[in-house]
A and B are shown apart, each in its own frame.
Chain A
Amino acid sequence: MEMLLPIVLTLLAAALSPLLRHISGRWGGWIASVLPAGLFVFFLSQLPTVQAGGERTFSVTWIPSLGISLAFRLDGLSLLFALLIAGVGTLVVIYAGGYLGGHPHRGRFYAFLFLFMSSMLGVVLADNLFLLFVFWELTSVASFLLIGFSHEKEEARRSALQALLITGLGGLAMMAGFILIAIAGGTSEVSELLSRGDLLRSHELYLPALLLLLLGAFTKSAQAPFHFWLPGAMAAPAPVSAYLHSATMVKAGVYLLARLNPALGGTDEWHYLLTLAGGATMVIGALLAGPQTDLKRLLGYSTVSALGMLVMLIGLSTDLAAKAALVFLVVHSLYKAALFMVAGTIDHETGTRDVRQLHGLMRVMPFTAIAAVLAALSMTGFPPLLGFIGKELMYEAKMQAPSASLFLLIAGVLANAVNIAVAILSGMRPFIGRGKHHPAQAHEGTLTLWLGPLILGLSGLLLGLFPDLIGIPLIEPAVRSVRAEHVDVDLALWHGINPVLLLSILTIVVGVVLYLLRHRARDASARLRVPELLLPGGVYRRMIAALPAFSGRLVGVIHNGNLRSYLFTIITVFLILAARTFVDLADWPVLSRLGDVEFYSVGLVVLMIAATLMVVASRTRLAAVAALGVLGFGIAALYVIYSAPDLAITQILVETLTVVIFLFVIRHLPRFGERSPRPTQFRDGVIAVLSGTMVALFSLKASGVQMDSAISSYFAENSVPAAYGRNVVNVILVDFRALDTLGEATVLAVAAIGVYAMIKLRKHHGRRAG
């Protein structure tokens, strides 16, 4: 039950947050932080259990019809993520209190934030694939609302939509993938699936399921070519970026891959797809980060690069890689969240995020500066920070990669070097520099604004110095979850002088050189600017921009607003569909029964055909109506001949009244001229003749069938004794099938209301919209 509690409590907090404004004033952030802090403590308290190899589970049925259960499980991997979510969450919530200040909608902001936190916790705790998906989608929704929080800005709206659509697209694909996995594995419970890896990997649905699932994971974790939504999402307020875009949501894809590794991982497909996508993303993110000058965009692109590294590491599928991935995950979350908050603070206190405008802030913003420098050092992988350990592990893992290790190493060094340059540029450069700080009005933020980054920065240092604090209690159980077996985790700063250390040093040197050459790099990239259309982001924007116009044209062709073309389409499609049975219908022998005709009937029919042609051909209204009348009376005569007196009387009365109404109406209409050009007339003629033939054949065939007369003989026998009526037709109308008649009377009633309203209720009687 305690598994459900964090999610429910956070959700409750989300619901109550809008009230925060009324009760809290400037203490809002602190008050709100109680919940995530409590959750952090709670998750910490689970450490011993998990470390000992235990799990917490909770499961109740929810929608068994679809295989969706409320199943939760807390194991090493979940716990690692849960601690990040709650821990970073606490700091972000406090930070947001200062960042938003007296923003009128800060309650709403907290609501979205808690909604996100709740669903993110759900993602990492869910033990049912579909439940996981439900939370997964909820994080997308929450992210949409958070990115678009400053919704009066067009950029915010656009970025929110972009993030939603890209992750939403992936999400839908992933849903299909999940369903396929559930079909292949015969269950949707994650822990069950994990033990059925062999079954899954050998199933014919494995590859499609994997591809679909990867689409979901890759879009969420901003892998190329879907990466562009993440830098775009920098329109979000800083706390959002610090939370969603560094530590939590963008890691959901990584989480999913790590989680399902025992079930799906280890195959060639898995290996190549992940390393390829991850490696490419790592390089692309780094390259794109290079020319950026906006603090947040710099960080955004470097996050893309880092996510690529993570995905690649998971793709390597070795114990070492798993270890490296999880350590780097923690490292990255700590420094990136700190740097995003710092960027937000700078923005908040100076009014700019352009790195070219910022220098010498150390003196006015000392705490922020310390936090930033610590985080940046961790990012560069400088000893003795945790980042160093992460980088060492990463290089080690790459060197031992099953294939292409050289390529991976080169790409890794390059990407890391760029990230080092980014770290210097974003975490150090604004604070250093001689002379007067710039911009002039800059000053230190409040406690809430620097506390979070400082704690995160310090923890990077602390954990670097004492890596065992997380190594055995946290990383080891998590690695166990990913590898489905026990793996020793022994983290240490110093491994002696070995190739890995040399690589680390090389990386830092290259990184510093890149930083120093940054202006040239920027110029070079400006010259090399790839046409926007070729970039995925450009493709997306083009598509979104072109979609309405394209749809308009497409639909304009099909749906042109013209009634006649609608009718034409309907009749044509009907004929096409019916053509299949048309051949069977043409039962020509029926024609031989032409014998039983009476000459007066023939005369009548000929007269009626003439009247019909008159209706068709007539150009004057009166003639057409008169011909219609003749036709109606002709039909009445047929009814008389063929023993239907009630029908005949009805037909005559109705025909008369129709003609009367027609006369009332038609006087005001102009003469009818033929307005269609010849080809249209020909086309219509063909369709008319074909459909007429169809109906004639249909009628012929139907009348040729010997029908079962059980019902009419029942009426014939029971009409008098049971219903006291000799006119069987009338008995049917008022007794056997009285309900039809009641319906028919209702139709008349409604028609009358309609006619009355149409004539009497005119526009000038007044109206209002709605």
Chain B
Amino acid sequence: MHVLLAILSGILFAAGVWLILRRSLARLVLGLILLSQAANLVIFTSGGLHRAAPPIVGENATALEAPYADPLPQALILTAIVISFGLFAFFLVLIKRAHQETGTDDIDAMSEVET
């Protein structure tokens, strides 16, 4: 399964790179979001995959019983997701306003705006 997820990460990353190289603002954001999905997936995969073993200690146990999914990558990804969420919320509004102010969603045209 690692292989499949690795390929999926690769595809997400490639798609993200492709999109951020396009000229439309909206596709730029889409691309960045895909890149961040890819990053999360890479972390998730590299932390090891475990089925049906969530890192939650059972009612009567005092410790996780092996095998369990590594909780740390999960916590890291959770933090990363939330941070990305904040960043993208900001970025989405930014492109909305940039579009409003510059009157274009073409990145090449916007690059020529006298800044």
Contacts and interface: CB of A to CB of B under 8 A. Distances in A.
A66 interface: no
Interface string A698-724: 111011110101011001110111000
Nearest to A695: B13
A593 B3 contact: yes
Contact of B6 (A601, A666, A703): A703
A512 to B, nearest CB: 66
Nearest to A594: B3
B41 to A, nearest CB: 7
A635 B23 contact: no
A691 interface: yes
A123 interface: no
Contacts of B106: 675
A638 B69 CA distance: 13
A386 B15 CA distance: 86
A204 interface: no
A615 B90 contact: no
B4 A709 contact: no
Interface stretch (A167-175, A310-318, A532-540, A557-565): A557-565
A624 interface: yes
A635 B42 contact: no
Contacts of B12: 612, 692
B74 A691 contact: no
Contacts of B18: 616, 684-685, 688
Contacts of A650: 78, 81-82
B115 to A, nearest CB: 8
Contact of A662 (B24, B78, B92): B92
A744 interface: yes
B81 A654 contact: yes
A298 to B, nearest CB: 50
Contacts of B13: 691-692, 695-696
A704 B69 contact: no
Contact of A643 (B21, B55, B85, B87): B55
A591 B55 contact: no
Contact of A716 (B9, B54, B63, B99): B63
Contacts of A664: 92, 96
A120 B78 CA distance: 66
Interface string B84-96: 0111111011111
Interface stretch (A25-33, A239-247, A725-733): A725-733
B8 A711 contact: no
A647 B78 contact: yes
Q: Which of A616, A645, A699, A747 gathers most chain B CB within 10 Å?
A: A699
Contacts of A351: none
Contacts of B64: 715-717, 719, 728
Interface stretch (A326-334, A340-348, A751-759): A751-759
Contact of B45 (A616, A676, A699, A750): A699
A544 interface: no
Interface in B14-55: 14-15, 17-27, 30, 33-34, 37-38, 40-42, 44-55
A76 B112 CA distance: 66
A369 to B, nearest CB: 63
Nearest to A718: B63
Given A612-B15, A672-B27, A597 B1 contact: yes
A696 B7 contact: yes
A639 B81 CA distance: 13
Given A564-B107, A642-B51, A716-B55, A608 B8 contact: yes
Contact of B89 (A597, A642, A661, A733): A661
Contacts of A688: 14-15, 17-18, 21
A737 interface: yes
A668 B42 CA distance: 34
Contacts of A699: 2, 5-6, 9-10, 41-42, 45-46
A707 B45 CA distance: 12
A676 B105 contact: no
Q: Which of A591, A705, A758 gathers most chain B CB within 10 Å?
A: A758
B3 A672 contact: no
Given A601-B1, A703-B2, A755 B17 contact: no
B85 A605 contact: no
A645 B53 CA distance: 10
Contact of B33 (A628, A638, A698, A705): A628
B7 to A, nearest CB: 5
Given A613-B15, A688-B15, A751-B87, A567 B20 contact: yes
B79 interface: yes
A726 B58 CA distance: 7
Contact of A687 (B17, B52, B55, B95): B17
Interface string A612-634: 11011000010010001001100
A597 B5 CA distance: 10
Contacts of A676: 21-23
A679 to B, nearest CB: 13
10 contacts: A564-B21, A647-B74, A669-B105, A672-B105, A692-B11, A697-B6, A709-B70, A716-B63, A716-B68, A732-B71
Interface of B: 1-15, 17-27, 30, 33-34, 37-38, 40-42, 44-59, 61-64, 66, 68-72, 74-79, 81-83, 85-90, 92-97, 99-100, 105-108, 110-112
Given A647-B77, A684-B21, 7 more contacts: A561-B111, A616-B19, A643-B69, A672-B27, A696-B6, A699-B9, A729-B78
9 nearest A-B residue pairs (beta carbon): A692-B14, A696-B10, A716-B64, A702-B46, A643-B69, A751-B86, A732-B75, A688-B18, A672-B24
